[in-house]
Structure 1
Amino acid sequence: MSTRIRPRAARIAATAAVLGLGVMGAQSASGATQDEPTSTPVPISTPDGQISSYVINTKANPGQVRKVEKAVRSVDGTVIQSWPQIGVVVAHSTSADFRTSVVAAAENAVDSVGPTRSVAVSEGTPDGSQAPWGPGKGQHEAVTKKRDVSDLTTAVASDPLEGDQWDMQMINVPQAHEITTGSPDVTVGVLDSGIDPDHPDLANQIDRASSVGCTDAGRPRTGEAAWAPTTSDHGTHVAGTIGAAQNGVGIVGIAPGTKMASVKVVNDDGFIYPEYAICGFMEAGLKGMDVTNNSYYVDPFEFWCGDQPEQAPAMEAVRRAVEWSTKQGAVHAAAAGNSAYDLSDKTTNDSSPNDAEEPTERVINSSCKDIPTELDGVVTVSSIDSEGALSSFSNRGLGSIDVAAPGSRILSTVVQDDGWGTKSGTSMASPHVAGVLALMTSAHPAWGPEKLASEVRAQATDTPCSTTSAGAECVGTPEENSYYGDGVIDALAAVR
């Protein structure tokens, strides 16, 4: 088993000053090496009359944030949400010149400002009131089936579909359950499309008081309608792997003794914009969540480039939110991505921005990050199949992958008919790690995020290179390689 603590290969710029449409110190702050090409610019149009969304980064103190808020209003923008803990303001504007105008009005208070999407805001601009969340443009009320699950038992010998969970057998979950099924004091934030509040395997597992919706332009909203799924059961499937109840119904999750908070960061069109992710991580920190699972990349860029002034500000804002929530005690697991891409050898990309009519074929470099999975302190998870080989769709990369986990044809909970079904992706691999981290937190409550992230790697099973159906090259040693990172997670070793 590997015992190394590996720093992220290339850090994201933490203090780059990106003002308006210019970059100061971009080369030294971007994370790209001197011999790499500059990434291809992707101009984002914010014409007059279109509601466009921005993040503005300033110093993390209330005085500077208030100064930026005043500047936003002085140029006829709207302050949507402020996070003074990290010095981030989310704003809307219908002015094409908003970026340069707010920088001038803020009198040196702005570190960076940039758009969060390449299209108009679809959900509209919140009116600023604190009224309970309601559906806006592009949103729909969640459908609630009102199933009574109060009579379900909470502990039985086995669940009827448990024998079909090959993934749990592979990573020694049944053996780990002989030691712990997790503590009810531990909460896993599922940053995703929402968790079905009425599913018999999940209804008693949700921490409703901590659950929150972030898709109302990045402003946190409470109440079931804000955090329940509407158009996707992705989050419900993820949640089942993490914590489906041990109740004689369906499947059993990795940490059924813990609780899960539904943190909805996916809108009804399937996008996770930066302001949604920022809200999700901040709420995880504010509500004291212990673990978060992040089975997504932040839209609209599969890779956000630190050397591009229109992309660097949003990446920096998300980085700040991840860092702050980590300092509050949350450890983060994230999917490596499904593009069969080598994250340690970035050259080109043709999928972004994915909210535009046509994405841009572009050159990228090491300053370009899949976020949040490539941010410092996040456990990056690749996917393996039932034979233990890297899944053909999984991203890889020596120094980029931390651990591997099952992600092909994973049986878990789905919304339709309150049932169960299989899905594949690194989205399915990451919650295995989040579940193991929840067990580890339960078994070792004094461990902080850094220790937990280090130990989940140290306790992983060293695995030599294999091949996939795509024949992608694997490089490295059994102790650390581009497919498995530090190895395949082991729930038993993690809690023993």
Structure 2
Amino acid sequence: MSRSSRTRRLSAGLAVAALALTAAGAATAAQAAPSAPATTTAAPAAPGVLMNYVVNTKAGKGHAKKVAKAIEAAGGTVVQSYDQIGVLIAQSTNPNFRTAVRSGREGREVQSVGATRTAAVSEGPVGTAKKTVAQRLAADEAAVVPDPREGEQWDMVQIKADQAHRITDGSRQVLVGINDSGVDDAHPDLAPNFDAANSVNCTGNGIPDQTAGGWRPTTSAHGTHVAGTVAAARNGVGIVGVAPGVRIASVKVVNDDGYIYPEYSICGFVWAAERGMDVTNHSYFIDPWQFWCDDNGDQGAVQESVRRAVSFATKKGVLSVAAAGNSNYDLSNKTTDTTSPNDSTAVTRTISNDCLDLPTELPGVITVASTTQARAKSLFSNFGLRTIDVAAPGSSILSTMPGGGYAPMSGTSMASPHVAGVAALMKSTHPWWSPRDLERALWRQADDTACPATPDARCTGTTANNAFYGEGIVDALDAVKRTW
């Protein structure tokens, strides 16, 4: 994604919710008749702004039901329940919701609770958001050119996809989820491979919505561009994707203002797991924090919720691939964050490596850095020894655009779908492989890439595995030719 893709969304028009919690208890025990079980209700509080929360409990319907009661007693509403991972998405205007939901017998089932944003929930377009979306998701966007451009796809040559296609274009049995801003399923290069039955819109508070067309882009071309890199069809039109024979589904997790809040991303991971997807691409970071710190109440709860969603997807057979980000930041040596939260007022804070870029730094997620045509690290690409798994082309990548056109875009957002496409080719030739098998094979097939000849102190490690390229630049030919 561009970390102009996954970079700061500024939203000056949104109301800002206070983060401070009241230290005193927020619930009082209600008196009950001797024959009735005791109940607990939250203390009255002046209504605040409408906020969304993740509430974590043990997996299973029984635990979720109890927590749902605690949410209701605290003045909240359950908008979505993921019993299978013990995560509920709640809404409330109670400023003391975090404390109140833990009160009483049912509240003891709550393991952690956290706000998913710092700005109030808003349904309409806000301030300069659309301008910000364009800045984030299109770092190098050119005029749409509606004619065949396959000969300009240097990226496919770099990863040897053109050679891999002589062996296979991929299997129709393989399904790749494009977890992004929506996909133009009418594009002539995408329509042949598009799977509407497994597409969804998760941007309504994280509630999966299969309304026809809801998965399409509204304010951003980003998801359509990503989709083309993964699987633009071999049909004599335009370009060819890394895996032009596989199917793709749109899992829309970016709202019209350009935000990817935790509840949207969680919805996307669980949806992919339950729909039997093989690979998903995540060219974004979860808003509003560039890094979610586990020693912060809200951020720690969200980090745990997303971790559960990713783990659930992995156990269900989904390999998750994600962009490393576009801040030219060392993910293995975090010190400060000056850009978060991006939905209200950013602050400068000291951070550590326990603060994670979500979802790319979670266990089981393939973290992808970006390369140029010269096989060098893209200037914008994040890096980090033992954080970056592999690298792929991400600078000025030609792909599909809404309305039937084509244009180049830059970012690790563009690198990640190359790796998702290679993983889809692997799954096509080794359908029995698990996500862990695919992960190991991606490491092994990658072409070792040394640090720059001109010494760069940031590129630590060896030729076999370093901070800029991880295990190396992915190799689609080896991915389909060799048995790992």
Asked if Structure 1 and Structure 2 have the same fold, meaning a TM-score greater than 0.5 normalized by the shorter chain, the answer is yes
Shift of 1:225: 3.1
Amino acid at match of 1:255: A
Amino acid at match of 2:321: A
The separation in 2 between residues aligned to 1:112 and 1:405, in whole angstroms, is: 37
Q: Which residue in 2 is equivalent to 1:313? A: 301
Q: Which residue in 2 is equivalent to 1:326? A: 314
Q: Which residue in 1 is equivalent to 2:92? A: 93
Shift of 1:76: 2.1
Cα distance, 1:185–1:244 mapped onto 2, change above 3 Å: same
The separation in 2 between residues aligned to 1:290 and 1:231, in whole angstroms, is: 28
Shift of 1:193: 0.2
Give the SS at the match of 1:435: helix
Q: Which residue in 1 is equivalent to 2:38? A: none
2:446 pairs with one of 453, 460, 477? 460
Shift of 1:209: 0.2
The answer as to whether partners of 1:21 and 1:309 remain within 8 angstroms in 2 is no
Q: Which residue in 2 is equivalent to 1:121? A: 121
CA deviation string 1:122-163 (max 9, x = no partner): 13xxxxxxxxxxxxx459xxxxxxxxxxxxxxxxxxx93211
> Equivalent pairs: percent with the same residue?
56
Shift of 1:244: 0.3
Give the SS at the match of 2:192: coil
The separation in 2 between residues aligned to 1:76 and 1:380, in whole angstroms, is: 39
The separation in 1 between residues aligned to 2:346 and 2:50, in whole angstroms, is: 21
Q: CA RMSD in A?
A: 1.7
Superposed, 1:151-230 pairs within 5 Å as: 160-230=148-218
Give the SS at the match of 1:494: helix
Give the SS at the match of 1:53: strand
CA deviation string 1:62-92 (max 9, x = no partner): 1000100111112221110000000000000
Cα distance, 1:86–1:166 mapped onto 2, change above 3 Å: same
The separation in 2 between residues aligned to 1:472 and 1:450, in whole angstroms, is: 32
The separation in 2 between residues aligned to 1:308 and 1:50, in whole angstroms, is: 21
TM-score for the superposition, normalised by structure 2: 0.84
The separation in 2 between residues aligned to 1:240 and 1:267, in whole angstroms, is: 20
- Residue 373 of structure 2 corresponds to residue 374 of structure 1: no
Amino acid at match of 1:328: K
Q: Which residue in 2 is equivalent to 1:419? A: 405
Shift of 1:454: 0.8
Give the SS at the match of 2:177: strand
- Residue 386 of structure 2 corresponds to residue 386 of structure 1: no
Q: Which residue in 2 is equivalent to 1:128? A: none
Q: Which residue in 2 is equivalent to 1:60? A: 59
Shift of 1:473: 2.3
The separation in 1 between residues aligned to 2:212 and 2:393, in whole angstroms, is: 31
Q: Which residue in 2 is equivalent to 1:365? A: 352
Give the SS at the match of 1:396: coil
- Residue 390 of structure 2 corresponds to residue 403 of structure 1: yes
CA deviation string 1:76-116 (max 9, x = no partner): 21110000000000000000111111111423100100000
The separation in 2 between residues aligned to 1:339 and 1:195, in whole angstroms, is: 26
Cα distance, 1:89–1:298 mapped onto 2, change above 3 Å: same
Dislocated runs of 4+, deviation >6 Å: none
Which deviates the most, 368-377 or 73-82? 73-82
Q: Which residue in 1 is equivalent to 2:471? A: 486
CA deviation string 1:174-222 (max 9, x = no partner): 1111111111110000000000021111112111000000000110000
Q: Which residue in 1 is equivalent to 2:254? A: 266
The separation in 2 between residues aligned to 1:492 and 1:47, in whole angstroms, is: 62
Cα distance, 1:277–1:185 mapped onto 2, change above 3 Å: same
The separation in 2 between residues aligned to 1:307 and 1:77, in whole angstroms, is: 25
CA deviation string 1:217-237 (max 9, x = no partner): 110000233211000010000
The answer as to whether partners of 1:390 and 1:467 remain within 8 angstroms in 2 is no
Cα distance, 1:21–1:438 mapped onto 2, change above 3 Å: farther
CA deviation string 1:282-320 (max 9, x = no partner): 000010000000000000000000111121001110110
Cα distance, 1:439–1:47 mapped onto 2, change above 3 Å: farther
Cα distance, 1:472–1:198 mapped onto 2, change above 3 Å: farther
2:222 pairs with one of 226, 230, 234? 234
Q: Which residue in 2 is equivalent to 1:433? A: 419
Q: Which residue in 1 is equivalent to 2:136? A: none
- Residue 279 of structure 2 corresponds to residue 291 of structure 1: yes
The answer as to whether partners of 2:22 and 2:96 remain within 8 angstroms in 1 is no
2:343 pairs with one of 355, 371, 386? 355
The separation in 2 between residues aligned to 1:467 and 1:56, in whole angstroms, is: 50
The separation in 1 between residues aligned to 2:172 and 2:307, in whole angstroms, is: 29
Give the SS at the match of 1:215: coil
Amino acid at match of 1:79: V
The separation in 2 between residues aligned to 1:245 and 1:280, in whole angstroms, is: 24
Which deviates the most, 471-480 or 171-180? 471-480
The answer as to whether partners of 1:185 and 1:258 remain within 8 angstroms in 2 is yes
Shift of 1:120: 0.5
